[in-house]
Structure 1
Amino acid sequence: MVLAATGDRLPQVVYWGAPLPMGADLDTLHAAHAIDVTGGMLDANPDLSLCPEAVRSFPGQPGLILRDGDGTPLLPKFCYAGEDTSDGLSLTYADDAAGLTLTFLLRPDPSTRIITAKTVLTATRPVHLHWLAAPVLPAPQQSAEMIDVSGRWCGEFQLNRTAWSPGIRTRENRTGRTGHEHFPGLLIPCFGATNTQGEAYGFHYGWSGGHRMVAEELPDGRRQVQWGHVGRSEQSPGTRFESATLYATYSQTGLNGCATSFQRHVRDRIVTWPKPDTPRPVHYNCWEAVYFDHKLPVLTDIATRAAELGAERFVLDDGWFGMRDDDTRSLSDWTVDARKYPDGLGPLIDHVHAQGMTFGIWFEPEMINPDSDIHRAHPDWALGSEDQTLGRQQKALNMALPEVRDFIYDRMAAILSAHDVDYIKWDHNRVLPMPDADQTRGSYALIDRLRADFPGVEIESCASGGGRIDFGILGRTQRVWLSDSNDALERLRIQHDAALFLPLAVTGSHVGPRRCHTSGRTIDISMRAWVAAQRHMGFEMDPRELTDHEAAVLTEVTAWWKRNRDWMHHADIHLLDSPDPAVLAEQQQARDGSRFVVFAGKAATSAQISPRTLRFTSLEPDATYRVELINRDTAPGLSRGTPILKTGPIEVSGAWLMHQGVTLPWHFPETMWVLEGTRL
């Protein structure tokens, strides 16, 4: 990435892409970046700078919109004031007359290929901020479309392809949290790019509150991408504002290049692991087994069965506190329900530990039910108006209030201090009544305080599934609950698309009930188990429903996952270009390229009668690989031929695997083939 500026004006990106020779003449690159001027235009093209300025006649969305303390609009004109290269690149610009200073912070990471970028605005007196973009970056001209991410409850991470055209493509999230509907990510494939080949650009805005994305094509053909907090989410005037961190990357290996950069950066730079040398444990979560009906004999029986299947962590979900018999009451009353646990949580925790499992517990700290002791005592602690529309019979607590954060901390710390708890499932089950940046900062402060005082406790970010997944919350947590859907077919697609941003290590995936509680679909245990084994594996069903066959399959797949989790934790997830739309396939590959596993999930009936060949990716062309279909014994009777993978492993070149590809046996929809590969 090459930045350049004329005189004391703000810098602009004049090149971003494939590596250039170290001796490239940057003055020439700057001069060659300029576009021509013709009729109907200004006499010069205003810079598409890191913060495009309205005062310099920029024809598109400006990077900064603010008003003075008395409401007067401000149109600052920033000039060079200094730089610092001790930690990445820090560039400072000032408008002395307006009393404003703008600083850009950019830092490259050669290992992950991510550039992190942030904008900071300071003022000599309180000002009202409407919009502050993170450093504004150009979008490529060699692109016909952009890919952004939407979704819904039980249908997260849906990819949308939108053609570039004159004007603005805006994604604005005003729900106050990251949201199922507006994951803050953007991918821009260049002409001909696929999962595995071609050029692509990737962006992610690491903020857990409301955000806004602007992708604009100017009348002169230039394109810009802006990210920032959603407009007017700064409720009060201030003297310092900063964007969240923007994560940006460029790829020469298709969308996978962006995906692996984001995966590595999340796992190796953003997430901090309480016990980094401890393998990721297999989860058991009791939610879809008992819901609110907590009975100690039932829970201890379930815990015993879960441990026998291979679970290593037992998570007690919603229903253990207050008078919580359904989702209409007791949120914020974080004391153990003596009706259900007359001797407290100790007996259950002791039993869980006796089975060789650690113990986790569910909280929804930022929320409150009107039918709760705390709401009756402190109705003023709720965020928003008294007559607001409830969500799941609850309101949000005002996390900007220190007394609210202190109260929540005290209640949670009491549980964590009294018991050996190593995990919190941290839920957030409703959107906020309005976007408010202070709400997000307050939640961050609470999590940071708890983590400082209980450093051994791992936290999962859950928000009715995938409603709060972003790199901001992942800087404070170690796992995300990708979706409330445990339907293996839906999960197959959600996991596939979420891998464009998220690594295996943080992505929770559970084996659900035989008949899925959110879709009503009945899916075979093998498919459910292998889909969960694609990510951080767990179970979330009543193990008492399992037949002997189902228990055997689940135990076997869980054991396979445990044998492979150490290298898979650090693996890159490459999405494969499947020629059959019914098949979603991925290749998880060790960082040193020595081994890989390919999951080929058949989500629907294929249009053609025989399976199409499946090409692998990112292998060494001249190396020889041993490839084995490890679950070939599950081939159905209708697979009547003799493809070689049905009889045993093959040894072939990386070139053959990438350019010809393997021919898999015929299989039914709703099944998964799993192939292991080793470089010889």
Structure 2
Amino acid sequence: MECWRLDDGRQTLALAMRAGGLPEVIYWGPPLPDSEDLAVIARAGEIDMTGGMLDRTPPLSICPEAAQSFPGQPGLVLHAEDGAPLLPAFRFEAAETGDGTLALVSRDTALGLTLTARFAIDRGTHILTATTALAADAPVRLHWLAAPVLPAPQLSDEMIDLAGRWCGEFQPIRTPWSPGIRLRENRTGRTGHEHFPGLIVPGRGATHTGGEAWGFHYGWSGGHRMIAEELPDGRRQIQWGHAPGTERTPATRFETAPLYAVYSAKGLNGCAVSFQRHLRDRIVTWARPDAPRPVHYNCWEAVYFDHDLEELKDIATRAARLGAERFVLDDGWFGTRDDYTTSLGDWTIDPRKYPDGLTPLIDHIHGLGMTFGLWFEPEMINTDSAAFRAHPDWRLGAADQIPGRQQYVLDMSRDDVREELFGQISALLGRYAIDYIKWDHNRVLPYPDAAQTRGTHALLDRLRAAFPTVEIESCASGGGRIDFGILGRTQRLWLSDSNDALERLRMQADAAMFLPAAVTGSHVGPRTCHTSGRILDISFRAWVAAMRHMGFEMDPRELTDHEADVLARVTAWWTDNRGWLMTADIHRLDSPDPAIIAEQHISRDGGQFVVFAGRAASSAQIAPRPLRLTGLDPEASYEITLLNRDDVTGLSRGQPALKAGAEIVSSRYLMSHGISLPWAFPGSIWVVNGRR
């Protein structure tokens, strides 16, 4: 028996190889003592056998094998080039260990296959990263390859994964563990609104702020599959990989995307903070690392396709007065693009709208002290375009497929397609002072295809190398392409096309299980939301946007003087505090009132925090329940201040201390009793600042 372990001070991952087969995870949880004998652990963890079982328990290895009579889903489904099924039986060959890294190599000599599982542990973020690679001596057809398979805890009653839809992303789904499979499979070809590739497995009794939890994220921008399976003998396994069948051609090498995983002894927030930090500090490559995150203004919901230079200048001037620092020109500037039906693929400036090009608008925006960003949808094409008329064969999929929003997908696996797109986009980036690209993706693929995803990644990589200071936002009808794979090539994401602050309040809180504030765009929308029809107060809209990377997306000409003043004041607060906010950890609070969605942003040094307590509905009881805080220095006291006391309504008739001014209390009180907030209407928010 050979054994290995990876440690980061917060967790231990231990593996063992028994009888020459594939290694398996024998422990994943709180740190084991350095002196722990892993061989003893491996033997101690073996399960008993009884009637109805085989004479030896098939191993739940890092790639469970069908050839081993494994009673659950195998980690590899493979065929020969002629389509004949292959049933590998791997034998362990070698291990390579490094500082926080481990590579385990196994081989099936008869079939000419080599399986390599790689693990790395980050002692700063506590994220485990794992990949599986398959090499073949001759071309084979891959149906399914799982990243290294990890066990799920036994003392867990449910799992939490995330579903969604357009304007309703990041909806938590709680599923009880039971014999059989919880299978989530994305066949849309992009990450998808419907199936965010993330999973949280809470230990029994875990909450946001306490208890054990295990977290998983598969960092891939294409179709994916998640399997959470309880075997007949009670063991549980978690598998992640590309959607089956998306490797469409035989090859001699395949590799999964990285699986990111973490154990937490501090509730769901422990997983969330690790994912937030790892994405922000390890995966995102910032275009201008030392520059503050700028306040955005996006013109889409102000003008849509109706671009008029003088109107846009006026809008930009008003946005700058409110505090905007970047102006993004959205869809409608290219080809003859007056609606959704035309010009995708023709990335040349519309001379009808911009007879002198973009220079007059950009010069005006620069004169206001703002930078300039531009919208693209490079992976798409309209049949009414010069590009399609010249290259109808560039369309991905059949000619009679169902269009989406009158558009089709370009085949990004083709070198000539990527070359043409790079030429058109780089020509604009080279000619104009463009600091930012909003990269959209407004329809699903006709079928999932891993080569399509790799092609998009390759184009993004080439553009980033050629224009390293240009920031890119990932948008796909809002949150349709959000994952650590795309965020290794972009610096911002558009969480949802919904600018409804009430919907955003819930979405942002649930997305924070994986996403930090610095990459999560959030905009103050119009008074009447364009996607929900709801009318919400400007203070609520502004503070909800200030919970993430702040921006505006409305016609500023609609604002009353009062609304403009509120928006400018909240924006000024955000810019004054963004230096620590954009590196803060987001902790979801365990609210005793289900009507309250609350989170606490804590600076990296623990010296300050801000609590956002949003009221999403009416409460069952009359008075607000105290809201417990979390993650504070247990020996410190904090001065806490209600930042938006002006929002107190006449129906709030009592005298909670926060209504009168700042108060100084111990962290023990704040974390055991909590803060008492004033009464408020639904669709409102309290913002509390704290300083040690």
Question: TM-score, structure 1 length as denominator?
Answer: 0.99
Residue of structure 1 equivalent to 2:204: 191
Cα distance in 2 for residues equivalent to 1:49 and 1:643? 57
Instruction: Give deviations 1:136-168, integer Å, cap 9, x for gaps.
Output: 000000001000100000000000000110001
User: Is 1:18 matched up with 2:30?
Assistant: yes
Given candidates 577, 584, 592, the residue that maps to 1:564 is 577
Instruction: Give deviations 1:349-391, integer Å, cap 9, x for gaps.
Output: 0000000000000000000011111111110000000000000
Cα distance in 2 for residues equivalent to 1:188 and 1:138? 11
Residue of structure 2 equivalent to 1:502: 515
Given candidates 50, 54, 63, the residue that maps to 2:66 is 54
Residue of structure 1 equivalent to 2:363: 350
Residue of structure 1 equivalent to 2:486: 473
Given candidates 631, 641, 657, the residue that maps to 1:628 is 641
Cα distance in 2 for residues equivalent to 1:72 and 1:415? 50
Instruction: Give deviations 1:266-318, integer Å, cap 9, x for gaps.
Output: 00000000110000000000000000000000000000010010000000000
Q: 1:174-573 counterparts in 2 under 5 A?
A: 174-573=187-586
Cα distance in 2 for residues equivalent to 1:123 and 1:435? 24
Q: 1:85-124 counterparts in 2 under 5 A?
A: 85-86=97-98, 88-124=101-137
Query: Quick check: 2:153–2:203 contact (8 Å CA) kept in 1?
Result: yes
Q: 1:73-152 counterparts in 2 under 5 A?
A: 73-86=85-98, 88-152=101-165
Query: Quick check: 2:506–2:597 contact (8 Å CA) kept in 1?
Result: yes
Cα distance in 1 for residues equivalent to 2:619 and 2:193? 30
Cα distance in 2 for residues equivalent to 1:287 and 1:630? 31
Residue of structure 1 equivalent to 2:14: 2
- Give, in angstroms, the shift of residue 629 of structure 1: 0.8
User: Is 1:589 matched up with 2:602?
Assistant: yes
Instruction: Give deviations 1:599-649, integer Å, cap 9, x for gaps.
Output: 000111111110001000011222111111111122101111111111111
> For residue 662 of structure 2, what is the amino acid of its counterpart?
P
Instruction: Give deviations 1:587-610, integer Å, cap 9, x for gaps.
Output: 000111111000000111111110
Instruction: Give deviations 1:526-559, integer Å, cap 9, x for gaps.
Output: 0000000000000000000000000000000000
- Give, in angstroms, the shift of residue 102 of structure 1: 0.2
Unaligned runs of 5+ in 1: none
Cα distance in 2 for residues equivalent to 1:418 and 1:586? 43
Q: 662-671 or 236-245, which moves further after superposition? A: 662-671
Cα distance in 2 for residues equivalent to 1:397 and 1:23? 56
Residue of structure 2 equivalent to 1:72: 84
SS at match of 1:269: helix
Cα distance in 2 for residues equivalent to 1:67 and 1:35? 33
Residue of structure 1 equivalent to 2:53: 41
Residue of structure 1 equivalent to 2:3: none
- Give, in angstroms, the shift of residue 478 of structure 1: 0.2
Q: 90-99 or 618-627, which moves further after superposition? A: 618-627
SS at match of 2:111: coil
> For residue 241 of structure 2, what is the amino acid of its counterpart?
G
> For residue 481 of structure 1, what is the amino acid of its counterpart?
W
User: Is 1:167 matched up with 2:176?
Assistant: no
SS at match of 1:304: helix
- Give, in angstroms, the shift of residue 86 of structure 1: 3.0
SS at match of 2:620: coil
SS at match of 1:597: strand
User: Is 1:31 matched up with 2:46?
Assistant: no
Cα distance in 2 for residues equivalent to 1:343 and 1:267? 39
Query: Quick check: 2:23–2:92 contact (8 Å CA) kept in 1?
Result: no
How many corresponding residue pairs?
679
> For residue 509 of structure 1, what is the amino acid of its counterpart?
S
- Give, in angstroms, the shift of residue 21 of structure 1: 1.1
Query: Quick check: 2:372–2:435 contact (8 Å CA) kept in 1?
Result: yes
SS at match of 1:16: strand
Unaligned runs of 5+ in 2: 1-12
Question: TM-score, structure 2 length as denominator?
Answer: 0.98
Instruction: Give deviations 1:492-528, integer Å, cap 9, x for gaps.
Output: 0100100000000000000000000000001010000
- Give, in angstroms, the shift of residue 585 of structure 1: 0.2
- Give, in angstroms, the shift of residue 20 of structure 1: 1.3
Instruction: Give deviations 1:183-212, integer Å, cap 9, x for gaps.
Output: 000000010001100000000000000000
Residue of structure 1 equivalent to 2:8: none
Cα distance in 1 for residues equivalent to 2:57 and 2:638? 54
Residue of structure 1 equivalent to 2:679: 666
Cα distance in 1 for residues equivalent to 2:155 and 2:341? 53
Cα distance in 2 for residues equivalent to 1:171 and 1:86? 34
How large is the Cα RMSD of the aligned pairs? 0.6
Cα distance in 2 for residues equivalent to 1:580 and 1:62? 43
> For residue 408 of structure 2, what is the amino acid of its counterpart?
K
Cα distance in 1 for residues equivalent to 2:450 and 2:168? 26
Cα distance in 2 for residues equivalent to 1:437 and 1:385? 18
SS at match of 2:485: helix
SS at match of 2:106: strand
- Give, in angstroms, the shift of residue 467 of structure 1: 0.1
Cα distance in 2 for residues equivalent to 1:376 and 1:609? 65
Cα distance in 1 for residues equivalent to 2:432 and 2:83? 53
- Give, in angstroms, the shift of residue 446 of structure 1: 0.3
Cα distance in 2 for residues equivalent to 1:8 and 1:459? 48
Query: Quick check: 2:638–2:664 contact (8 Å CA) kept in 1?
Result: yes
Identity %: 69
Instruction: Give deviations 1:449-483, integer Å, cap 9, x for gaps.
Output: 00000001000000000000000000000000000
SS at match of 2:164: strand
Cα distance in 1 for residues equivalent to 2:302 and 2:651? 35
- Give, in angstroms, the shift of residue 7 of structure 1: 2.7
- Give, in angstroms, the shift of residue 667 of structure 1: 0.9
- Give, in angstroms, the shift of residue 670 of structure 1: 0.8
